[in-house]
Structure 1
């Protein structure tokens, strides 16, 4: 196998100009005519989101056609909820990734679409699918249940009127798996018309996703004896010291799904706190990744760190960005929501390079049939300004790291003295921020164990 073939990524950026998209074809059973059709699988990456598998089934015998989308990533640690306001016809073109676990609702019409098959569509496509689904059995309803058919017909007209956008309306995408997505057309700037909530799943949602083990059946006496033996063996083993030793465990590579090693270590950051750093390296595809978790839980208050960049040496400052932190550069009108880039322990330069890399890659919204020259130019200009900050050509700009969990850190090069170019604010979290972290329902007073 050539080196060119081995270095080709498994999940390539979706691009309308790609002449060789590497679509896999599989002969499959048709549930309609019971003959064989063709299933086509396309593994691709959606910019600003993640990897997905797009599947399409076509039967030449009966004409049945079906498309579906499945996330290629694991179930996320938290669920996600997008609340998007549609103000004009342009907003109807927002790209939407809806997994088979996501619920879509339109509060204005008290409409809710339960989890169905996963699709890659637009806001207008969601409305069209709802209209198509409700219209499907209308001829039969008009005969058997004329009153119900009339009510559904009136509701269908209301759905169609939404596409005229005579007045703004909200659309809500709620996915407990965390793998759904609504496009931000203003990227890299913050979307003023959309809010994103990451929430802790309920036990019922975990059970729906298959994350909870089935209730344990009463163990046989022999199994109980084995458990006791294992407990004795654990007692005899040396206690693992997370501060001096590196723990290693097997996981699957998020890029090629081949088993690889993830190393984990507890690190004490001077003038801050202990954190858990996890690093993954895949020998098969070369993928490297690191993730940081707070080692001391959620702080009583949120932390907002603002650094004024006055010298190119500021790029070498250490940065600990937790997965609950948001980032902003006010002078560039840039704002990244909580969860962007995940948890990272790097330098300020490394963080800016990661932001630039995520924005400057191949993007279906800026090339080919879906090209938007104005937005493409905006992204290009933004990346050039990021390069200037890294090179020390834009002094005086501010970098803001806002973490409601209080687990992020930006190095103070004057420590233990105060840093004249950096301010650290501790603030009370809002109800919404506590809700996103699952703190509102957490009982800590008068707690009794059964």
Structure 2
């Protein structure tokens, strides 16, 4: 019988040392080709994920190597994180990457392909330190045998040193198809001003690289579902085949458009795996980007305010001025829930991030700030602390239920505004060419007919 995951991945606990003894395996040393020892430890990091820690040591030549692999299933979406390194604090941010992650530093023209390095927990500066150590490994020998390339490597190492010393600002791009990557936010209560986290649907090549499909499989995309018409689709649930992102078993995704009263049409997608029980839901706007952005301001005063329906789109940010909380649009993703569910999801995400990076070495002052904030959020959920929730959606595709629709709601305020250049840039509107679009389309059709 297969072991339970809770029995395999024990939580880190200083009192139960005996249960956390690593497994030792005799293995070959790649440096001297003698036998060394590899130690494996399966453990669960509280509020984070299950991981497999590996450590190799050779008693003959002293070669050592440490590696970490995720023990979690592949996430539903891939993750891409872009960090602009501007301050010393950015260099000390902790970073988690899987073996499937690729790293890019455009300013250095540096690209580390996926599966070329093992997964690890390090800091941002450690990424460049590892590259520098690899380049300097045989540099003395290279200066004698290949002085031209040795000089080029010295020049490149100098550029790395300038980045580490912050003589030049640089950008770190982390692209992980498995979704098991993370870069620390120094202040989880606020939007990270120099770090952008986005999630994407994996293309076919990444799905096959992760082993979720065979190389011969022809992967069907959701867009291939044949709908008779948009109105007909509202009356039925559309099914399309896919593989479970957790266990790779064949399953189905159910999709149905539905109308939200006094708002618009949305598309609800749900997936349930009969084999492993994995569940996922997602909500997308059924319309395009609105002409104006919309800001929804809700005052939490009565219990019924917590039960209001909320549609938060991918482009919507959340803030609570009384708690000095500001959550970016990419943090919670798109979801259809209640006000209470949205606040609980926010609390869980902040608690998860702070718990993993607030260990024994963390500053006690930072721990107290996070603990105090979570206590205040609990009071807001209990309506012991009056707060105001602000949902700001530049695309205008978010919604909070009005308890007196179509009349004005005294505790819900809607403000429509014109987007600025930066918001249009984030939505990809600045590069869209819509002038004479119909004429260009007609010319294209004529050319295709002539050909």
Per the normalisation by structure 1, the TM-score is 0.73
How far residue 348 of structure 1 moved from its aligned partner, in angstroms, is 0.4
Distance 2:25 2:248 in 1: 21
Relative distance call for 1:259 and 1:387 in structure 2 (3 A) is: farther
Aligned counterpart, 1:344? 335
How far residue 135 of structure 1 moved from its aligned partner, in angstroms, is 0.8
Tell me which moved more, 372-381 or 111-120. Answer: 111-120
Q: For 2:347, which of 329, 353, 356 is the aligned residue?
A: 356
Relative distance call for 1:51 and 1:248 in structure 2 (3 A) is: farther
Distance 1:15 1:377 in 2: 22
Give the 3-state SS of the residue equivalent to 2:385 in structure 1. Answer: coil
Relative distance call for 1:260 and 1:66 in structure 2 (3 A) is: farther
Q: CA RMSD in A?
A: 4.7
How far residue 27 of structure 1 moved from its aligned partner, in angstroms, is 7.2
How far residue 337 of structure 1 moved from its aligned partner, in angstroms, is 2.0
Q: Is the 8 A contact 1:82 1:197 kept in 2?
A: yes
**What pairs up with 1:365-444 in 2 under 5 angstroms?**
365-368=357-360, 370-395=361-386, 397-429=387-419, 433-434=423-424, 436-437=426-427
Whether 1:135 and 2:125 are equivalent positions in the alignment is no
Relative distance call for 1:185 and 1:73 in structure 2 (3 A) is: farther
Compare relative contact order (CA 8 Å, sep 6+) and give the higher one, 1 or 2.
1
Relative distance call for 1:16 and 1:96 in structure 2 (3 A) is: farther
Distance 1:432 1:202 in 2: 27
Relative distance call for 1:267 and 1:398 in structure 2 (3 A) is: same
**What pairs up with 1:64-103 in 2 under 5 angstroms?**
65-68=64-67, 72=72, 74=74, 80-88=80-88, 90-99=89-98, 100-103=100-103
Distance 2:23 2:274 in 1: 25
How far residue 114 of structure 1 moved from its aligned partner, in angstroms, is 2.9
Q: Is the 8 A contact 2:310 2:339 kept in 1?
A: yes
Per the normalisation by structure 2, the TM-score is 0.73
How far residue 95 of structure 1 moved from its aligned partner, in angstroms, is 0.8
Aligned counterpart, 2:186? 185
How far residue 259 of structure 1 moved from its aligned partner, in angstroms, is 6.4
Aligned counterpart, 1:198? 198
Relative distance call for 1:260 and 1:42 in structure 2 (3 A) is: farther
Distance 2:391 2:227 in 1: 43
Q: Is the 8 A contact 1:52 1:73 kept in 2?
A: no
Distance 1:304 1:10 in 2: 47
Distance 1:120 1:174 in 2: 13
1:169-209 CA-to-partner distances (Å, cap 9, x unmatched) read: 344224274654321021122234x1316387999997997
How far residue 371 of structure 1 moved from its aligned partner, in angstroms, is 4.0
How far residue 157 of structure 1 moved from its aligned partner, in angstroms, is 5.1
Q: Which runs of 5+ in 2 are unaligned?
A: 219-225
Relative distance call for 1:244 and 1:148 in structure 2 (3 A) is: closer
Q: Is the 8 A contact 1:43 1:53 kept in 2?
A: yes
Aligned counterpart, 2:222? none
Tell me which moved more, 175-184 or 327-336. Answer: 175-184
Distance 2:238 2:205 in 1: 34
Whether 1:334 and 2:325 are equivalent positions in the alignment is yes
Q: Which runs of 5+ in 1 are unaligned?
A: 218-233
Relative distance call for 1:176 and 1:57 in structure 2 (3 A) is: same
How far residue 391 of structure 1 moved from its aligned partner, in angstroms, is 1.0
Relative distance call for 1:443 and 1:202 in structure 2 (3 A) is: farther
Distance 1:31 1:297 in 2: 56
1:22-42 CA-to-partner distances (Å, cap 9, x unmatched) read: 977777776553979747474
